[in-house]
Amino acid sequence: MNLLKRYAVPVICAMAVLSLAACSSTKDVRRVPTPLTEFKPVLDVQQSWSASVGKAGRYLFSPVAVGNAVYAAGANGSVAKIDAQTGKDVWRTKLHDDLSAGVGSDGTLTAVGGLKGDVYVLGADGKQLWAAKAPGEIISPPLVGNGLVVVRTIDGQIVAFNGQTGEQKWNYRNRAVPLNLRVSSGMTFAGDAAVLAGFPGGSFSAINLQTGDNYWQTPVSYPKGVTEVERINDVTGPPTLIGSETCAVTFQGQIGCFDANSGRSLWSKAFSSTSGLAQDDRSVVAADDWSVVSAFDASNGSVLWKNESLKSRDLSVPMLLGRAAVFGDYQGYVHFLSNADGALVARMKTDGSAITAAPVLAGDTLVVQTRDGGLFGFRPR
């Protein structure tokens, strides 16, 4: 039950896979973003503040919320803890390295990843505690908690370090695949026992936090097709976990939910996504690789609703916020969809640059981070 995956496709190839139709002809309009139309907002959302952290460049930087604070980073080495009520810095640090991934934090330790596999861990005051080396480039946000800092490299290794000392505890390897997407593939803690992670080839694992061994490994979907491009079948985005149900989605594959204790499949549906999904007690919501949003019943996978009004707008990883599903798009708009029927209920604008990471909730403030490094705090009412 061991795993090993290797990175084998440059950015240009990954983007070609994601836009096969768009690349076929300059006259092909199938990937033209759907224009935004006016609607009557029924959810009151107000912008409370804005701040800035370094630009993302060609990487995905995801903020993380802990209590009433949000932690964020940029490619230029800037890392900040921000009070989500006011948007003011609690602390801000400039590391002497370019970064490619961030942020992970448990409120005491904060971790980011560098271009050459360097892992930097900061203390509660924002000062660097230690640095360690992972065996490859890091483009996914680290996980911090349970006394560990857990990172994953572009070649599919997951490495756990002692949170206080930086000593390597274990190294988990997934099986190799010929091609995979260059996307940020997150991880999720399952309590204090395991870390959940999906991989290229469609596999999904629960990894023992103490030993780095599998509790279980199961397929989300299987590769299909004749060519290696057709057979790309990566799990995208971080797995979700609500109670004992965990869910994941693949590119050119399926969306589905599993028993978190055993890996047993609960349901699955044909689906393809490059961004990931969100889950709550009632539903699982995801945008497919055309940015058509669907909601599935979390208990059986039946389709609850579908919304095509944001098609081809390159929607972000979603989040579920009470009665709304929240997505960012390529122009920096934040869209709020009713989780009851998928109708648009609110829309907010940021700095005009793409939002690719999932919004996060810090206290009562929804925070989004843009590719140009903008941080925006919104309060739905």
The residues, any chain, with a CB within 8 Å of residue 216's CB and separated by 6 or more, are 1, 205, 206, 262, 263
Q: Are 348 and 45 in contact (CB under 8 A)?
A: yes
Higher-confidence residue of 155 and 152: namely: 152
pLDDT at 155: 79
The residues, any chain, with a CB within 8 Å of residue 378's CB and separated by 6 or more, are 45, 46, 47, 48, 334, 348, 365, 366, 367, 368
pLDDT tens digits for range 251-297: 999 999 999 999 999 999 999 999 999 999 999 999 999 999 999 99
- Stretch 45-64: mean pLDDT: 95
pLDDT tens digits for range 135-152: 988 989 999 999 999 999
> What is the number of other CB atoms lying within 10 angstroms of the CB of residue 134?
23
- CA 272 – CA 235 distance, rounded (Å): 10
pLDDT at 178: 67
- Stretch 374-379: mean pLDDT: 98
pLDDT at 118 > cutoff 80: yes
Average pLDDT, whole number, for the chain?
90
- CA 162 – CA 169 distance, rounded (Å): 6
Q: Which residues pair with 314 in a beta bridge?
A: none
Band (31; pLDDT cuts 50, 70, 90): confident
Q: Which residues pair with 45 in a beta bridge?
A: 380
Q: Which residue, 239, 291, 249, is CA-closest to 269?
A: 249
- Stretch 12-34: mean pLDDT: 50
- CA 130 – CA 54 distance, rounded (Å): 22
Could you tell me the pTM of the whole model?
Answer: 0.90
Residue 164, CB-side half-sphere exposure with 13 Å CA sphere:
2
- CA 310 – CA 328 distance, rounded (Å): 10
Q: Where are the domains of the chain?
A: 11-380
pLDDT at 225: 87
**Cα 86 from chain centre:** 25
DSSP 12: H
pLDDT at 27: 42
- Stretch 344-364: mean pLDDT: 97
pLDDT at 21 > cutoff 70: no
pLDDT at 160 > cutoff 80: yes
- CA 152 – CA 141 distance, rounded (Å): 8
Min mean pLDDT across 172-186, 196-210, 337-351 is at 172-186
pLDDT at 176 > cutoff 80: no
Higher-confidence residue of 23 and 192: namely: 192
- CA 299 – CA 79 distance, rounded (Å): 39
- CA 198 – CA 249 distance, rounded (Å): 9
pLDDT at 231 > cutoff 50: yes
Q: Which residue, 276, 353, 184, is CA-closest to 293?
A: 276
- Stretch 97-106: mean pLDDT: 94
End-to-end CA distance of the chain: 47
Band (30; pLDDT cuts 50, 70, 90): low
Q: Is the dihedral of CA 292, 295, 301, 304 positive or negative?
A: negative
- By CB neighbour count within 10 A (0-12 exposed, 13-18 middle, 19+ buried), where does 376 fall? buried
**Class of the domain covering 11-380:** mainly beta
- CA 326 – CA 313 distance, rounded (Å): 14
